[in-house]
Amino acid sequence: MTETEIVERVQCLVCQRMAGQQAGHDVDHVLRVLKSAREIQAEVGGDRFVVELAALLHDLGDAKFHDGQERSAEFARDILSKHSVDPSTIEHVATIVDTISFRKAADPATLSLEAKIVQDADRLDALGAIGIVRTIEYGAAIGQPFYLSDNPGGKHKTAIDHFDEKLFKLHDLLNTDAARRIAGQREQFMRTFLDQFRHECGETE
């Protein structure tokens, strides 16, 4: 099998296995991460095959869908070993999917170029119009209001808090200039959205 054929097969498998998943980790998230990762790789270099496989497999074993256990690395090893991928590539991909999540906050100095690319692509998907929709979907899935007009001292958590707690921090955490450029434009759009939202809620004149 050629590398292109392996990527196509893995993509098919991931689409089947993630069908029906929601809460921001549907298969469209994975396909968008793959697209962004390819664009970044074309600009900064690195091993395209590793980048593609890691992008496709990075959320396959998300803890939210596996009783709180993160199983993406295990699933990646399992799938790739059945597709005649060489052991060092398998280990590299497994390491990437195991280390890139926001929660793990891995030291960027320890990440390979390919890991940095996939991490940036994943973070970009939390920004812009898509990021806004995912934030709304996530909040709705856990029964959290998006916004509360009567919330003294921010006593109740809302999805809108998530913008400051995480989303507006992402730009500075990105690894590549290619991603930072895209992020700048997406962040600007989110700020415009929040300004308009607050204006319509009567918070601003």
Query: What is the contact surface with ligand ADP in residues (CB under 6 A)?
Result: 24, 101-102, 122, 126, 131, 134-135, 138-139, 159, 162, 166
Partner whose binding site includes residue 96, from ligand ADP, Ni ion, none (CB under 5 to 8 Å by kind): none
Q: Which residues, numbered 55-84, are part of the site for Ni ion (CB under 5 A)?
A: 59
**In the complex, what is the shortest distance from the CB of residue 108 to Ni ion, in angstroms, rounded to a whole number?**
18
Nearer to ligand ADP, 92 or 162 (CB): 162
**Binding region for Ni ion (CB under 5 A) out of 7-15, 120-128, 137-145, 173-181:** 120-128
Distance (Å, whole) CA 85 – CA 177: 30
Partner whose binding site includes residue 98, from Ni ion, ligand ADP, none (CB under 5 to 8 Å by kind): none
Query: Please, are residues 30 and 18 in contact by the beta-carbon 8 Å criterion?
Result: yes
DSSP 34-88: HHHHHHHHHHH-S-HHHHHHHHHHTTTT-GGGTTT---HHHHHHHHHHTTT--HH
Query: Please, are residues 167 and 126 in contact by the beta-carbon 8 Å criterion?
Result: yes
Among 52, 114, 120, 122, binds Ni ion (CB under 5 A): 122
Closest CA to 114 of 186, 63, 58: 58
Partner whose binding site includes residue 95, from ligand ADP, Ni ion, none (CB under 5 to 8 Å by kind): none
Distance (Å, whole) CA 65 – CA 19: 12
Nearer to ligand ADP, 46 or 139 (CB): 139
**In the complex, what is the shortest distance from the CB of residue 139 to ligand ADP, in angstroms, rounded to a whole number?**
5
The tokens for 90 are: 């398998």
Query: Please, are residues 19 and 62 in contact by the beta-carbon 8 Å criterion?
Result: no
Q: What residue ranges bind Ni ion (CB under 5 A)?
A: 59, 122
